[in-house]
Structure 1
Amino acid sequence: MARGVLLDLSGVLYDGDTVLPGAVAAVSRLRAADLPLRFLTNTTRQSKRQLVTQLQRFGFDCAADEVFTPVAAARAWLEANGHQPHLLVHPALEEDFADGRMDGPIAVVVGDAAERFSYGRLNAAFRALMAGAPLLALARNRFFRDRDGELSLDAGPFVQALEHASGIKAKLFGKPSADFFRAAAASMSLDPADVAMIGDDAESDTAGALAAGVGTAILVRSGKYREGDENRFAPAPTETIANVTAACDFILAARGS
């Protein structure tokens, strides 16, 4: 029985600028059942401030400390290890690093840089790696569902290209990093086994959550989901369900709510 819920954002609660049917009501029902919530995202084309503003504009009851992005963990690593970032990220994400460490040796930080994934910028990151910089990946998702409804390349292929060229393995800070899921559970004072994850990505969301010890992982057939995804990655999701409304029903039924 879940005592807290982790929710992916894009593809679960909204697609682009469109709130998915029933999503606001589903979040409200989970809160009414006294379930603490955390909103987990690998999205790195928006700052945390922009994400929180967007969620609130869409009608979701959401506080800033409930939103988990990979940036906070990456910044903590930079500070603890005495590095400053060499950023290969979307321009909107730069504000999340603006007041961070700006001295010490370089660490290459890669997010979804979109059009900034030019040869020149990738090569500059490669050269920093060859000079000894570590590689920090804010996410390594293969693709995402873009605003036009089609799939687009995410950060993962570019992270893998830098790994291949440099021979350096990236340190991952977003999903499916076990530390990411466990930190979100710990922020609710819960063990991962007492938490349910709802996501549209069978690799990063559900398989990643279960590998991290999360008790229940629900894959929704919205967003980036493609037929058969539930059978492509291990561990397989606990349940594969139509949408976030059905996922909410499943969680609340298990609680007897």
Structure 2
Amino acid sequence: MTHPRFAAALACALLAAATASAAQRTPPPTAPAGAPKAAGTRALEAGAKILQGNAPLAGFDIYLDGFHPMKDHPDMQVEAHHFCRQVNEDLAQCALFDGNTRTANLTGIEYIISEKLYATLPADERPYWHPHNGEILSGLLVAPGLPAAAEHALMAKKMNSYGKTWHVWNTGANGKPGDALPLGAPMLGWSFNRDGEVFPSVVEERDIRMKVHTGSKRKARADLRPQAHPQGGVDALKGTFQQATQDIPGVVDSAAPAR
């Protein structure tokens, strides 16, 4: 059952989105290969919109913005625009894009599960699922357009959750050009679990463009630390980043020795 305060805050989201600055718009960094749509293609699209509908896409209305390093290539760090549908209290499914405009490219998928469902996974499956507490408590994960109270409530519900993410299209990362088509094998995305792992320039560029402040988000979420449980995968990339890192308060690997 939705908490009344959360429901009321969500009701304000449309107003917030309507008044959001154009600077929050993020066009895709890469134009796909291919010729412009022909008139016949556009006519078919118009007919399909009227006659077919898009029922499976309904409900993908939770918008999250964050960053993923590739688990096998931590120096490849991408911003991911998540458009998610909450299937039930324990499962959400998200389509990932490289922007938030109509021309954004679909670059991957992410499934988000609760701590309860993660506990049911077999041991050989768990290495595919990254922990979320570091993303939340650091302020890196944001919900653009939501009022502060609604965003805080949303992040509280995602504490101790996990994500399984596959990126299938490199459309550009870290100042390097992307591919005009989705090439190569899918790449398993991971989460940032220590300060210093994500390139500062990546976060700064996002914050300026989308008019958010990661540091302020972090301070506002300090009250969520007592809810944080040790999570699997926090130390999966420990020591693989070239830059110096340090622990995020409240973010602990479940396999780490007691402190």
Q: TM-score of the superposition, structure 1-length normalised?
A: 0.31
Higher Rg: 2
